[in-house]
Structure 1
């Protein structure tokens, strides 16, 4: 694909090498001069990208305040730290540079900075949601989550032992420059791409089960992820595959595939619950859960699983049930092929009491074709030991 700018509702700047021109264009649009530059660990500085971005911001007349050290599973304490900084420093704009964790953290920082009350209690106790935000944008350096496309964020509340979604700000813009992903370890690239595939499957398996145009587009996105991930593993210098995976990540979470759907996302909620107790890698956790969960859905979700088997995995049996089962095993085989874990023990998780606690605190999703009990979810997790 060639470069383009696309807005739905986040303005998209896509293309290899587009970061400088996109950031300068957007910074010249915003009101105010005080920018909070948010990022994760030290990789942004080690690669020299930090200095480049700070230089571009200075060229646009902006004052830069650092908000670094955002962890892979951002904590509620980190959100509060950022919100305090925004208030005290008089921040006009937040620029999140990183992957889903940095971007998610900043969405909630943007909202909490405008609130006089605790945003977690506001959303979970009062079922109310923020309406004012500090403007923000995202520069994606690790694709897969699609976090730059929506206003949902996953935050770990360490005191409550919960890793759950909150609603915060939409970005004004997102920069999708595939060059920025080249410094990532391949293991992280693979994990992120599988998260994209998971988002697609979680949307596809939602209600209604009858196939619609959104699902047919989704099938193409899933095929693209599988094809381009294989291509990138075979040749990490394949810029086309990198760009395709980056846009697939955006497509999975920019709302288009979800039109007319009540999404499933039971696998995601289950992985988040495990992550609250173990701080495990998100994409790897999804890889362990997905095939097992889908085996538990073979009765209730057989029609949709069978269509995914034929259209995405290109396998077919003699019956709908057999086709659905073959599709689930093709997914499991792909996970092994790309080197993701298939057991919790491969991730250092060996305590079944953690899995029990995760099942007992997991969100139960109404969009799933099977309404699981907590005991059934525990059995799904336990089968992954």
Structure 2
């Protein structure tokens, strides 16, 4: 294992009924003036909004609503939320939703109290947070990003066509309420794309150095097997509590920094998808599903031993008399087959990319990951986009 420092400050309340059981006590702890943040309004259709509002009302909370957070939250939306928090003099933020809501709320928690330009000082480049962000609590309704137990937030600057993620431990939610039944109402396509995002997070950590025996890789293999197994079960029965609860916790485990300890991490696929999203606003999990097999066909020889291990320990492909290269390729193709099995797209055309989409411009805008097994170039990223088309 490489050296590391580990800390995670988020307190998790997990299980059926946890919102009803604990939310009122948390209002007493963090304050009664709350900025309530959510997305397009699905929580009003599925009953979650009313359940939460009833609890807040009984607790005597004064609520300002910050709604309409989009799938790829923008910097302008962050500024809107920050202004509302200041006007309302909010004690804290309560975000209800998936990764986009949680990410937006983290940026809002900084922008509401900082006098600096948040984008220029903290997203365009890494900055040092020398202030205390507005406290944030989250109620998770979608399994996918794992944003509930880290300080990471992906924000899109529409004017500059840049989609960037940063992780500041000070932005970790103070608490996360995670009731798996709250994820039931998510459409199957969204559930599946979120599930693949979980798998992607694990793979992008796993396929990086070190390759010597380490606990992080062992945990990652177990999480990948669990995610694959439970995603299949949830596709068959979206209200399978065991499957949905396992996916929800796997999402958290993939991004609470545990599996990243001592690892270089790759995340080149995320870089490529983020820039695709900045230009096309495509679904994040679907974009990752298109990119991953093609990207891995490019790099598997550079991380051959790990790709062989992936084939054997995750997909349980029998070794027989296969060479290392044959085993590694079969592991990548097993991943591609799984993507098709769960109904995710396999081409960029299915995401709305056309011959007029500026793929070269998008490729040139991608950051190059220092943790990748293969040192990428913008030219090779363009090749990957073209092969995905």
What does residue 146 of structure 1 align with? 146
Q: State the Cα distance separating 1:242 from its structure 2 match.
A: 0.5
Q: How does 1:274-285 map to 2 (within 5 A)?
A: 274-285=276-287
Superposition pairs for residues 297-376 of structure 1, below 5 Å? Answer: 297-317=299-319, 318-351=322-355, 353-376=357-380
Count residues in correspondence: 378
The 2-side partners of 1:93 and 1:124 are apart by: 22
Match of 2:29, SS?
coil
Task: Give the match's secondary structure for 1:300.
Answer: helix
Equivalent residue for 1:3?
none
Q: Tell me, what secondary structure is at the counterpart of 1:336? A: helix
Q: Secondary structure at the match of 1:27?
A: helix
- Structure 2 unaligned residues grouped into runs of 5+: 1-6
Aligned to 2:382: 378
For the residue of structure 2 that corresponds to 1:297, the secondary structure is helix
Q: 1:297 to 1:128 in 2, by over 3 A?
A: same
In structure 2, relative to structure 1, the CA distance for the partners of 1:186 and 1:140 (3 Å cut) is: same
Question: Is 1:69 matched up with 2:68?
Answer: yes
Partner residue, 2:244: 242
Q: Kindly tell me: are residues 186 and 127 of structure 1, through their superposed partners in 2, closer, same or farther at Cα, counting changes over 3 Å? A: closer
Contact 1:97-1:103 at 8 Å conserved across structures: yes
Contact 1:129 1:167 in 2 (8 A): no
Whole-angstrom CA distance in 2 between matches of 1:359 and 1:12: 38
Give how far 1:261 is off: 0.8
**Partner Cα separation in structure 1 for residue 117 and residue 335 of structure 2:** 41
TM-score of the pair, normalised by structure 1: 0.95
2:122 is matched with which residue?
123
Q: 1:124 to 1:67 in 2, by over 3 A?
A: closer
Equivalent pair of 2:150/2:167 in contact (CA under 8 Å) = no
Q: Check if 1:26 corresponds to 2:30.
A: no
1:210 to 201, 209, 212: 212
| Stretch of structure 1 that moved more, 299-308 or 335-344 | 299-308
- Could you list the runs of 5+ residues in structure 1 that have no partner in the other structure? 1-6
Partner of 2:3: none
Give the Cα separation in 2 of the matches to 1:375 and 1:275. 19
Aligned residue number for residue 4 of structure 2: none
1:316 deviates by 4.1
TM-score, normalising length: structure 2: 0.94
CA distance in 2, matches of 1:266, 1:283: 14
Distance in 1 (alpha carbons) for counterparts of 2:11 and 2:233: 28
Give the aligned CA root-mean-square deviation in angstroms: 1.4
Indicate how the Cα distance of structure 1 residues 26 and 124 shifts in structure 2: closer, same or farther if over 3 A, else same.
Answer: closer
User: How far apart are the structure 2 equivalents of 1:126 and 1:381?
Assistant: 26
2:31 maps to 1:14: no
Assess, with a 3 A threshold, how the Cα gap between structure 1 residues 200 and 101 changes in structure 2: closer, same or farther: same
2:81 alignment partner in structure 1 = 82
Deviation at 1:226, TM superposition (A): 0.4
Distance across 2 between alignment mates of 1:126 and 1:157? 13
Residue range with higher mean Cα deviation, 108-117 or 333-342: 108-117
Q: Greater shift after overlay, 368-377 or 312-321?
A: 312-321
SS at match of 2:16: coil
Q: Partners of 2:166 and 2:196 in 1: how far apart? A: 23
User: Counterparts of 1:239 and 1:172 in 2: how far apart (Å)?
Assistant: 26
Measure how far apart 1:126 and its partner are: 6.3
| Structure 1 residue 8: Cα displacement | 3.5
Cα pair 1:288 1:343 within 8 Å, conserved = yes
